[in-house]
Amino acid sequence: MDLSWLAEPQTWIGFATLIILEVVLGIDNLVFVAILANKVKPSMRDKARITGLTLAVLMRLVMLGFMAHIITLTQPLFTVGGLSVSGKDLIMLVGGLFLLYKATTELHERIEGHNQFAIADTNKKHAGFWGVVVQILILDAVFSIDAVITAVAMVEHIVVAMGAVVVAMTLMIMASKPLTAFVDKHPTVVMLCLGFLLMIGFSLIAEAFHFEIPKGYLYAAIGFSILIEAFNQISQRNARKNAYTSSSWRKRTAENVLGMMGIRESILAQTGEQAEDGSHFAENEKSMIRSVLMLAERPILGVMIPRRDIERLDISQSKEEQSHQLQNTPYSRLLVVGKAGVDDPLGYINKKDLLAQILEGHELNIQEALKQPLILPDSTTALKAIELFRNSSADYALVVDEFGAILGMVTMKDLMETIAGEFPEEFEREEEPALQANADESLTVDGALEYVELAPQLGLPLPEEDSDFHTIAGLIMEELQSIPNEGEYIDFHGWRFEVIEKESQKIERVKITRLPPEE
């Protein structure tokens, strides 16, 4: 066998040139492979991507092996209305229709906003593994026709073309992982690529009907769009950088710690390994860590029970009325007031102390069971309140403003719930949950829900240190600069907050819906 052609310079020049061309022609294919791979479960994405591309390599080699037959696909098979139709035309038509269908369905899914809520991620439906692999093969078949024909046209020996295809596809497989990660983190890039997919699909259909669209026009449009998207990504990165540097040291520390946890999680997921305890970091664990790190900046006003909701015992009433109140209240601690009301409290009582009096055979004596609450200024943080509780024998505190007016009350249970979430009592379990996911992918929340608890789930910015609101109801009033009525709403960072239930001047329930991109 004569192998002298291997020593010829033009062979290796053609080999190197063909590798470059194959990589360039395969870039668009690679982007769409990244989009398809993200449809399967995270633990299977790498396997789906590598399996699909590896099978695509074999498919291209088979196509090269039968190149003599594939070249004849350009010969007319039949004529329709004076238009000669070849095998290549049919492939272009079917491939273009497939790309249009795929891009349209993907765009529809993203524009409709399916699975937008972080709290619903556990219910997200993923595509089947082999279904995605087959789609990758079909996509590669569509994109590889020109690449295969180019390979045969450039070199005389099919072995050189096969070697160039193998090297180019190997480079693409190596580059697909970081590209997949990039596409997964930047949703706007996915939308841009789907737009390219539509454009390429239309061009394939036009080419099938012998309407030649100069490739330079397509490449110029794609290049210009990529340039604009690059500017957009730089702008977003600078905005995040500025927001990061302008935030407090404690916020940056929390973000860094959670970021490191996220990196560890991604590594474990990619390698298929298990954490030491057999599980990865759960969202509630991350939430608890974030809450602990932010305790020193969590205002007591967002933690306390508002003044109007304080359970109280009025000793100016009759003994029967006092006994009725003690029997019917579900709370273990009550604020004791007289004729002056909550503005001049006498102290607070624990119902267990009254029970001890009864068990000892004594007459019920409210005055004897009275305890003095801890007094917290409204500027106190959650962390400072915990320290003050630790140094005091009281387990009940009143929050007052600079004039001494009572704004609300707080207990150690309330402070612990800022770290670990709600600990609902039996009577509270019968009430509507503070945060509820609806069938239409909206959320219904309490107006009193702390904004900092909801912000991470919806991707909302954290409030400034000197912010005038602490709850969802406070956010709405801050934006409207008034007390809203039922049906009124605000649009805030891509979400609509609508008041759906109100009692007197208090906002009870709020419906939160993601706004469509065009709004």
Q: Who contacts 63 (Cβ-Cβ below 8 Å, separation ≥6)?
A: 70, 144, 148
Q: Per mean pLDDT, which range of 3-17, 43-57, 86-100, 101-115 is the poorest?
A: 3-17
Q: Who contacts 317 (Cβ-Cβ below 8 Å, separation ≥6)?
A: 325
- At 376, is the pLDDT very low, low, confident or very high (cuts 50, 70, 90)? very high
How do residues 168-208 score in pLDDT, each as one tens digit?
778 777 776 776 667 666 667 767 766 776 777 787 788 78
In this model, does residue 210 exceed pLDDT 60?
yes
Longest dimension (CA), the chain: 115
- At 513, is the pLDDT very low, low, confident or very high (cuts 50, 70, 90)? very high
Closest CA to 449 of 436, 468, 439, 438: 436
Residue-averaged pLDDT of the chain: 75
Domain ranges of the chain: 4-213, 247-293, 300-427, 432-514
The whole-number average pLDDT for the span 423-434 is 65
Domain 300-427: give its CATH superfamily: CBS-domain (3.10.580.10)
In this structure, are residues 498 and 510 in contact, taking their beta carbons and an 8 Å threshold?
yes
What pLDDT is recorded for position 244? 60
| CATH code of the domain made up of 432-514 | 3.30.465.10
- Classified as helix, coil or strand, 89 is helix
Matching fold, domains 300-427 and 432-514? no
- At 490, is the pLDDT very low, low, confident or very high (cuts 50, 70, 90)? very high
Closest CA to 457 of 181, 41, 90, 118: 118
pTM of the model: 0.43
In this model, does residue 240 exceed pLDDT 80?
no
Strands (E), 358-452: 374-377, 396-400, 406-411, 435-437, 443-446
